[in-house]
Amino acid sequence: MCEQLLRRDSNNIPVLELSAGVALGLGNEQLAASYLMKQLELQPQNPHVHSNLGMVLHILGKNEDAYQHCQKALELNPDLADAHDHIGNIHESRNNLRNALNSYVKALELGAQDPRIFVNAGNMSQILGELSAAEDYFREAIKQNPTYAPAYNFLGAVLQRMEQYNEAKAAFQHALKLHPNNPEIYNNLGTLWVDQGDLVKAQGHFEKALSMDPNYIGTYINLGNLYEEWNDISQSQKNYKKALSIEPTNQQIKALLYADNDDHRNAEVAWRHTISSKPNEQGGYFGLASLFIKQGRYEDARAIFIQLENIAGGSIKLYNQWIKMEENIHNLDAAECLVKKALSTNPNNTGYFILQAKLLQRRKKFGEALQLLQQLDPSSIDNKKLRAEYLFELGKTQDKLGHYKEAYESYKDASHIKNSYLGATYDNKKDAQWLQEYRTLFSLDNWKQLKEISLESETSTPSPLFIVGFPRSGTTLLEQMLGSHSQIASAGELPLMNTLVKGKCQEIIGSEKEYPACLMDPVASLDHSKLRLMRDFYLTNMMTLEVSDEASIWITDKMPHNLLHMGLISLLFPKSPIIHITRHPLDTCLSAFFTDLKGGHRYTSSLISTATHYTNVMQTFEHYKRILDLPLIEIRYEDLVAHQEETLKKLLKFIDVSWNDSCLQHHKNKQVAKTASYEQVTQKVYNSSKYRYRNYRDAVEPIIPILESTIQHLGYSMD
């Protein structure tokens, strides 16, 4: 109809304006721009035409021209709210977020009643860390239009960041009522469940979002993060790769994939690209800081945290991660200062109280820590993950004070909550089957074939020195002692063998079979060149850590569960020493159950499953000892504690390194332990961890039948 009217009169200004609106509504921005340009020829001093043309040109990506027309509109009418709004959009697209916010605010001050502008102002405030202001803008948008779904969605997001989870949930659910098929809202609800510590519900919402939009990149990233929490790296990478296939230039996704593959250099480059492209958004900064912490680059991580604080103020997530890093690296004064600062900005945050109690424990003020923790009611902590952290911390404090019965109940409740948020307990039957596959593959006959293609010794130095043992058996203490020697560098728990086992071996061999079956695949056979690629992968990534110097002969890898990969270690590093450390099985299992280990250690879901997994692991270790020709030495944790010098001299002789008195001063070692034992190894050796099970005799009674034969085989008693 507009076209018919324009054929009669091509200079009809109202029809030209209407035609532009119709074209824009149909998604034909180019046509809309042509109508507005024609109108501008007829009305060169009309501020509304300049403003509308600026809006359309911005949509077309012609921001320079768009900005000029909006500025011209404001020269003609400084009080034109629409022009300020459009300039805000241009600033936002250029990442000039403060200027964008100022423009939106100006539009609102001039009387704009569009809820979309309130939402835009709220989004800018949220990104800039001004959460209370963002909440006010979103609530005002809802007042303007109670049926505007995006306002509820964004309100939920800002309330989530403020840890007002129940209100956030209500806002998201209201948004869904208004827009039930919106994948973004389901995605946001999924992240809310992650924050509340219910990963199963989170997974359901993420999958619902993808059922509505199979190309929703943010959800693939969130699912990838979720599978990382479950330690399912193959599924994690599958989701990241799917996201990357949709948006191949996305640097954030590349960074996540590089980090998963322990490619730290490329991960850092990708995170820095993310930050440079979105300097006011926090995700890139947190990703880079986490990478630096993983590498032990704590000064660099601290610099990133300071940047974040300057950009967006002290967010809850920022202070949580920063305080934990400072505490982990034994910088207690800095951690305490940050806790005070955090509490001044958010005095009711439960996480800060837990961190404060942990710091009191580190100062050995156990009574004060218990008093602080007892002020909190665990049933009032909605976040399941945080409630579990609280109970683990309470159990540790009670244990230190000798309240063993209460401590065990706290630990048991912590494990129960942790099981509920991770979604499942450990499958002992599947566990036994999995380890049986390892033992079957590395049979005597198969080993004879594999040994024929195993690599020669690695002659270059430094070379890997493997410290293995069940988690909580003393691997961290041993590494700290050995790492105090000038010729031994500590690398901590390297994930490299696990990366090989979880897919890299299969990829290098070109097999469709998963590890360990891929090693004996008749279709895609293993050979020297493929083994060299595996060894090169390990060595290259080990050296990128830059933990060694010219004096280093050995670099330790103390990943405990490398115990299960000794067959592969023997193929790649036939002469690398392996030190196996054991501790009384009852102590080991009890300590593992009492520790808030990450999602990959799901065998700690109960004391029974911990003991069952321990037995399966030790059976596999004994099998390797019988089959493989290993440069292996075994020691006991109890001997390491009671006879330090004698035990260490024996180990150093085994790895052909001369004695050094510094090994007895491990608590002065500046190398930071990155495991659950980081606190203990900064102290002088103490005996309180020996025969700890005696304090929990009733609790360990049910697992004695499971462990009895292993206890006897290792030469321990059960008194």
- What's the token pair of residue 386? 């945080």
Task: Specify the number of domains making up the chain.
Answer: 3
Each residue's pLDDT tens digit, 113-124: 899 999 999 999
* Last-in-domain residue among 112, 138, 155: 112
Q: What is the pLDDT of residue 255?
A: 94
Question: Is 441 a domain residue?
Answer: yes
Is the model more confident about 69 or about 688?
69
Q: Assign 205 a pLDDT band (cuts: 50, 70, 90).
A: very high
| Rounded average pLDDT over 692-719 | 93
DSSP for residue 694: G
Question: Is 120 a domain residue?
Answer: no
* Residue 418 structural domain: 348-424
Question: Is 646 a domain residue?
Answer: yes
User: Taking the model in full, what pTM does it have?
Assistant: 0.82
Is the model more confident about 336 or about 384?
336
The residues pairing with 555 across neighbouring beta strands, listed in sequence order, are 464, 489
* Last-in-domain residue among 367, 400, 424: 424
What's the full length of the chain, in residues?
719
Q: Assign 523 a pLDDT band (cuts: 50, 70, 90).
A: very high
Q: How many CB atoms lie within 10 A of CB 688?
A: 11
Q: What is the pLDDT of residue 458?
A: 66
Q: 105 and 34, same structural domain? A: yes
Q: 684 and 546, same structural domain? A: yes
Helix (H, G, I), strand (E, B) or coil at 547: coil
Each residue's pLDDT tens digit, 436-468: 999 999 999 999 999 988 887 666 779 999 999
* pLDDT surpasses 90 at 141: yes
C-alpha 70/C-alpha 398 separation (Å) is 66
* Helix runs in 247-349, H state only: 251-260, 264-277, 283-295, 298-312, 316-328, 332-345
Q: What is the pLDDT of residue 681?
A: 44
Is the model more confident about 197 or about 587?
587
Q: 588 and 445, same structural domain? A: yes
Edge-to-edge order in the sheet of strand 463-468: 488-490, 554-557, 463-468, 578-582, 632-636
* 551 close to 487: Cβ distance less than 8 angstroms: yes
Each residue's pLDDT tens digit, 149-160: 999 999 999 999
* pLDDT surpasses 50 at 61: yes
Q: 353 and 439, same structural domain? A: no
Q: 476 and 417, same structural domain? A: no
| CATH number of domain containing 611 | 3.40.50.300
Q: What is the pLDDT of residue 363?
A: 94
* 638 close to 535: Cβ distance less than 8 angstroms: no
Question: Is 280 a domain residue?
Answer: no
Question: Is 157 a domain residue?
Answer: no
| Rounded average pLDDT over 625-650 | 94
Out of 448-462, 514-528, 586-600, least confident range: 448-462
Q: Assign 162 a pLDDT band (cuts: 50, 70, 90).
A: confident
Q: 532 and 634, same structural domain? A: yes
Q: 625 and 596, same structural domain? A: yes
Q: 528 and 576, same structural domain? A: yes
Q: 434 and 401, same structural domain? A: no
First CA to last CA distance, the chain: 96
Each residue's pLDDT tens digit, 68-107: 999 999 999 999 999 999 999 999 998 898 999 999 999 9
Question: Is 122 a domain residue?
Answer: no
Q: 381 and 432, same structural domain? A: no
Could you tell me which of 277, 325, 334, 269 has the C-alpha nearest to residue 301? 325
Q: What is the pLDDT of residue 671?
A: 54
The residues pairing with 464 across neighbouring beta strands, listed in sequence order, are 555
Scan for tokens 């202070």, then name that residue. Answer: 319
The residues pairing with 554 across neighbouring beta strands, listed in sequence order, are 463, 488
- Rounded to the nearest integer, the mean pLDDT of the chain is 91
* Last-in-domain residue among 91, 112, 133: 112
Scan for tokens 């909605």, then name that residue. Answer: 382
| Rounded average pLDDT over 263-281 | 90
Q: What is the pLDDT of residue 482?
A: 95
Could you tell me which of 30, 52, 32 has the C-alpha nearest to residue 43? 52
Question: Is 635 a domain residue?
Answer: yes
Q: 432 and 396, same structural domain? A: no
Question: Is 569 a domain residue?
Answer: yes
* pLDDT surpasses 60 at 282: yes
Helix axes 233-246, 217-229, angle to 10 degrees: 170
Q: Assign 669 a pLDDT band (cuts: 50, 70, 90).
A: low
* pLDDT surpasses 50 at 559: yes
| CATH number of domain containing 54 | 1.25.40.10
Largest distance between two CA atoms of the chain:
105
Q: 668 and 593, same structural domain? A: yes
CA 388, 356, 326, 382 dihedral sign is positive
Q: What is the pLDDT of residue 679?
A: 52
